Structure 1
């Protein structure tokens, strides 16, 4: 190799070595992104409190055309609603496809087996289907249900609504019946809520079947529930 060619090779090697040592080879790498110090840190929204509603066709929303008072109450309070209402059921009464849409629908005590997760709130609302049964039997079933709920969910706020009736006067036995449910609720340290009878004397709030609330009726029930519920939530 001529001397001049050897000199060029040596010089080229020196230049390349200097280039590499200066970091020139890093130019082909993808630079790492470093966020500015004041950049906002993304946050994950906290899950909504779970609220479980147990009850009959009024809780299920029959006759409302898709409007349900538990849904309205849940939306107003930012709750994730699990509606376990089943038509024709009660503290003792069970039902079938003609009322609840299933081959068999259990009593409230059996329905609690369908609760999934750890609810923050539980609302039991119903009882009208049990009217006419021995009050002592209904009271015993209510006591067993409330005790089971309190044992399973010691940290939940559990509410029991006084039974509702339609636009007609409540049956004569309703007073004694309602008092028995109230006593069972208080005995098990649950919160008893009596919103009165929002549908009484209001045929305009009843659907064409003459029994269940219509959309406006469910809105009235939701307003009545909120009126007695909010003071308890504020404690």
Structure 2
């Protein structure tokens, strides 16, 4: 797979985050990386990619090297040329660290014209009401399908940490599930593979560490295989 300018940028950004992972310096580093990554995606929007990942900090791979994020691992396993445009803090309705919701990621995905779109439900939308979340999820999935009528759209349930998830998470997943299948996409229920395994989480008990990302990637790969999605 050819290394894109944005993939090289993520390597640099990932190392910066690891070097300043604690305190305000980590926040500043990732905010800067998010802005730079967004600009880089726009710069090479004409590049050919097989798949795009839309999501939050877990899809982005916060706290681990870019290649260790689960979308990158899945792409490598399936030999996809992936552009991971996920941004920390973002959701369908919740603005991320770049100040934008999933809207901006969807715009980037459409410009890249991939064959596969991975889009993740997220804990960042836990405080969003049903009506607002449903409306935005339906809008964004409809936009993807309209612009990319031949693309394979794959939605995934939110990745939770090592403790018991709130009941609200099931409702968030259900609303995104509805929007994904409503445009003929495939829904992957990942369950809670990290539950009860603090050794797979970073100190915040939210973000998977490198082994945790590997576990999530394995669950996604097996679900893709079961759905007969190979790219």
Shorter-chain TM-score tier: 0.7 to 0.9
1:55 maps to 55
Q: Which has the larger share of helix?
A: 2
2:38 maps to none
**1:1-235 to 2 correspondences below 5 Å:** 50-66=50-66, 67-96=68-97, 104-115=98-109, 116-233=111-228
- State the shift of 1:176 in Å: 2.1
Contact residue 65 and residue 214 of structure 1 kept, 8 A: no
- State the shift of 1:233 in Å: 3.0
CA–CA distance in 2 between the matches of 1:84 and 1:48? 15
Runs of 4+ in 1 over 6 A off after TM superposition: none
SS of the residue corresponding to residue 227 of structure 2 reads helix
TM-score by length of structure 1 reads: 0.73
Give the number of aligned pairs. 182
- State the shift of 1:49 in Å: 5.9
Bigger radius of gyration = 1
Contact residue 49 and residue 112 of structure 2 kept, 8 A: no
CA RMSD of aligned residues (A): 1.8
SS of the residue corresponding to residue 53 of structure 1 reads strand
- State the shift of 1:48 in Å: 8.4
